[in-house]
Amino acid sequence: MIRNGKPSPNHCSFCGRSKDDVIMLISGMDAQICELCVDKAGELVEQELGRPARHQQEEEQPKKSARYGGPLRLIPPGEIKSFLDEYVIGQDDAKKVLSVAVYNHYKRLLYGQKTKSPDHNEVEIEKSNVLFVGQTGTGKTLLAKSIAKLLNVPFTIVDATVFTEAGYVGEDVESMLARLLQVCDYDVEAAERGIVYIDEIDKIARKQDNPSITRDVSGEGVQQGLLKMLEGAEVLVPPQGGRKHPEQKLLKINTTNILFICGGAFEGIDKIIARRLNTQVIGYNKDAQQERIERDNLLQYVNHQDVKHYGLIPELVGRLPVIAHLDPLDLPTLRLILTQPRNALVRQYEKLFAMEDIRLEIQPEAVDYIAEKALEYKLGARGLRSLCEAILTDAMFEAPSIDQKEPRTLVIDRAYAESKLQGSRMARLKAA
């Protein structure tokens, strides 16, 4: 802007913006220029010289993840299972299946790196996606979270209940790959060798075993959207979610080397297994004890036919070739879950009370009582935390308010646990 024949010192001489409208003004001998005009002039110079602009150069360079950009380390299945044993009690069959699946996934990745040259006679190893079937609270999600601590490939856990068919309210199935990209800092190459755990896969089962003639937007429609992704295809993924940012640039991800692990409770599938096995037939020569054990753990006989009858379409079941079951938790297993794992509940509460200079002592009889109640409520391992919270809530509420300098001890016996669960109030803080 020119005033009285001279450029104004408070305005850009090129675009006329005032000093308040820009971040900075660069002053010369007789003119000023703002940072916006500097960027525009730089683009014109690069265009005249035939070179891409600076922001285009940054977009063309693929991003690299600092954590997952290094070489892969082949972890033997025995080492993977030993690591899982520190966090998950029991479920040896599921641990072996998961360890082998992850180990083979690493071998596929290393094999693909060594044989990048096309050879029509070369044997191509296909991935084996895994399906976990087990009651609620038996450790399906805990297995996935535990193994994520060990792996040096991108790993994410998604919930199938939020997905809907494309065009409806909810998330598209491609959003699970967006979460995988977020884990590896949008490194596409790293994401293409990652692992995705799809939880609650049974919640997208179609309502009937017959093909639907109407829209099932959160059931069969989602299953059809997962087909190509599980098998291996090039998928266009909106990094920030397609619903809120439709103008963003899509990233192309090849899912051929992404391992998919699915898990679900499949409530009621034991009835389908029972009908197939015809366990209702009563024979005179059957051992009663053996029949009781079989009825308590019918999931050990689950196969692809049962999953298909439950409501997963045959095309999706065929892309999950490995099926593993998780055993229901019995009383000895629930006792061990309370005390043995690295992050056992008893250890967690001991640490919480130790922060208040209180030594927590849970006697074995109280542990047995908590395990018995959890088995009675049929909530699995999740029921253990609910019971512990009910027993220790009063103590955790009162402990910070007691002003004592000497260390204290809180003893939890069976009688104390029973009284708290029955609603009575009893203080058990004692001086050491």
Residue 421's pLDDT band, with cuts at 50, 70 and 90, is confident
Q: Are residues 337 and 214 located together in one domain of the fold?
A: no
The answer on pLDDT for 425 being more than 60 is no
Pairing mode, if any, of strands 6-7 and 2-3?
Answer: antiparallel
Last residue of a domain, one of 265, 298, 325: 325
Q: Are residues 336 and 303 located together in one domain of the fold?
A: no
Residue 58's pLDDT band, with cuts at 50, 70 and 90, is very low
Q: Are residues 88 and 176 located together in one domain of the fold?
A: yes
Give tens-digit pLDDT for 283-304. 555 555 455 546 667 888 899 9
378 belongs to a structural domain: yes
Higher pLDDT pick, 79 / 13: 79
236, β-bridge pairs: 252
Q: Are residues 215 and 166 located together in one domain of the fold?
A: yes
- 256-282: average pLDDT: 83
The answer on pLDDT for 89 being more than 70 is yes
Q: Are residues 42 and 121 located together in one domain of the fold?
A: no
The answer on pLDDT for 424 being more than 70 is no
- Tally of domains within the chain: 3
Q: Are residues 229 and 206 located together in one domain of the fold?
A: yes
Structural domain including 102 reads: 77-325
Distance CA 96, CA 275 (A): 28
353 belongs to a structural domain: yes
Q: What pLDDT is recorded for position 428?
A: 39
What are the Cα distances from residue 170, in Å, to 87, 160, 166, 222? 34, 11, 9, 11
pTM: 0.73
414 belongs to a structural domain: yes
Give tens-digit pLDDT for 308-354. 999 899 999 999 999 999 998 889 999 999 999 888 999 999 999 99
The candidate with the shortest Cα–Cα distance to 24, out of 37, 8, 6, 5, is 37
The answer on pLDDT for 232 being more than 60 is yes
125 belongs to a structural domain: yes
User: Phi, psi at residue 39, to the nearest 5°?
Assistant: -65, -40
For the ranges 11-20, 102-111, 222-231, 423-432, the lowest mean pLDDT is seen at 423-432
Q: What pLDDT is recorded for position 83?
A: 93
CATH label of the domain that carries residue 159: 3.40.50.300
Q: What pLDDT is recorded for position 430?
A: 39
For the ranges 184-188, 276-280, 376-380, the lowest mean pLDDT is seen at 276-280
What do you get for the CA distance between the two ends of the chain, in Å? Answer: 82
Distance CA 232, CA 259 (A): 10
Contact (CB, 8 A) for 270 and 294: no
33, β-bridge pairs: 26
Q: What pLDDT is recorded for position 363?
A: 93
Give tens-digit pLDDT for 101-137. 989 988 888 877 665 555 556 777 788 899 999 988 8
Contact (CB, 8 A) for 182 and 68: no
Residue 97's pLDDT band, with cuts at 50, 70 and 90, is very high
Distance CA 331, CA 343 (A): 19
